[in-house]
């Protein structure tokens, strides 16, 4: 049984991570899904979601910090 090789989530761009997540979900929905890999896929998907969410949170905080300088002066 060939185990899929996953890039560490930290090395992925957000777009790549979401694309992979999407592809995994689609694979899992199709009949191509190998039951032996289901747990691995699910774990990977969970990992991707957690990473994306954490990046969104970080980005949001950074945005707020950056744009705080641009709010009209009093």
Partner 1 sequence: MSGARPFDSAPLSVTALSRIIAGLLSVSDLHDVWITGELVDLRASGGHCYMELVDKDAGSGRVNARIKAIMWANIAPGIGAKFQRGTGQRLQSGLKVMVLGTVNYHPSFGISVVITDINPSYTLGEAERRRREILERLKADGVIDLNRSLQWPVPVLRIAVVSASGAAGYGDFVNQLYSTPRRIRFSVELFTAVMQGVRTAESCIAALDAIGRRVNEFDCVVMIRGGGSSSDLQSFDDYALAANVAQFPLPVIVGIGHERDTTVLDYVAAMRVKTPTAAAEWLIARAGECLDRLRQAAADILAAATDRMAGCNTQLSYCEGMLPTVARAAVQRSRATLDNARLSLAGVRASRIVPEQSRLGAAGDALKVASRAIVSRAMERLDASAGLLGALSPEATLRRGFSVTRTSDGHTITSAGEAAEGTVIVTTFADGEVTSTIINHQ
Q: Which residues make up the interface to partner 1 (CB under 8 A)?
A: 14, 18, 21-22, 25, 28-29, 31, 33, 35, 38, 41-42, 45-46, 49, 52-53, 56, 59-60, 63, 67, 70-73
DSSP designation for 50: H
DSSP letters spanning 26-49: HHHHSTT--HHHHHHHHHHHHHHH
Residue 8 beta carbon to partner 1: minimum distance, rounded to whole angstroms: 19
Residue 6 or residue 18: which is nearer to partner 1 going by CB?
18
């Amino acid at each position: 049984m060939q185990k899929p090789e996953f890039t560490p989530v930290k090395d992925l761009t957000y777009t790549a991570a979401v694309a992979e997540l999407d592809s995994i979900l689609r694979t899992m929905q199709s009949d191509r899904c190998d039951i032996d890999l289901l747990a691995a896929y699910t774990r990977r998907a969970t990992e991707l979601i957690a990473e994306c969410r954490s990046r969104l949170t970080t980005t949001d905080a950074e945005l707020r910090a950056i744009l705080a300088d641009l709010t009209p002066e009093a």
